Amino acid sequence: MTTHAPTRQAPIRPQRLALQRLAMAFVAAAGLGACDEPPGPFEPCPLSQSILNACAEDAEGTVITCVVARHPMCAEGVCASWEGSDSFCSQVCDTHADCPAGSSCLDHLELSFCVPDSVVAP
């Protein structure tokens, strides 16, 4: 009967283990980042129920524009509902030239942001 002596593996150096963990974390983060990119201009963005309630049409039929200047779901931070439109991601602007084609730079309170022309003149 043949017996085999147990084999010993060389211990993994702490530096190598740290590098392996770092590499795995980087790969995992890169993979997650590709899936979770925030929406770009004019993609839908969610508004909270309290904001939707505040923006609801009043008894006289006046429709209100609502804007969240630092929305976590939008790449440029702006989420807006222009005069009752569905909410969309936007960006801050100074002039129409700052906005993508097919949109205009409009003011609401103290913020100017890009609004799709199709929303302004349906």
For 7-36, write each residue's pLDDT tens digit.
454 454 444 333 333 333 333 333 334 456
Structure letter (DSSP) for residue 35? H
46 within 8 A of 52, measured Cβ to Cβ: no
Q: What is the pLDDT of residues 60-101, one digit of tens each?
A: 777 789 999 999 999 999 999 998 899 999 999 999 999 999
71 within 8 A of 51, measured Cβ to Cβ: no
Which pTM does this prediction carry?
A: 0.65
pLDDT at position 120 over 50: yes
39 within 8 A of 74, measured Cβ to Cβ: yes
Scanning the structure block, which residue is given the tokens 């005069």? 83
**CA distance linking residue 43 with residue 41, whole number of Å:** 6
- The whole-number average pLDDT for the span 101-121 is 92
Q: Name beta bridge partners: 111.
A: 108
Cβ-based neighbour number of residue 40 at 10 Å = 13
Every domain of the chain and the residues it spans: 49-120
pLDDT at position 43 over 70: yes
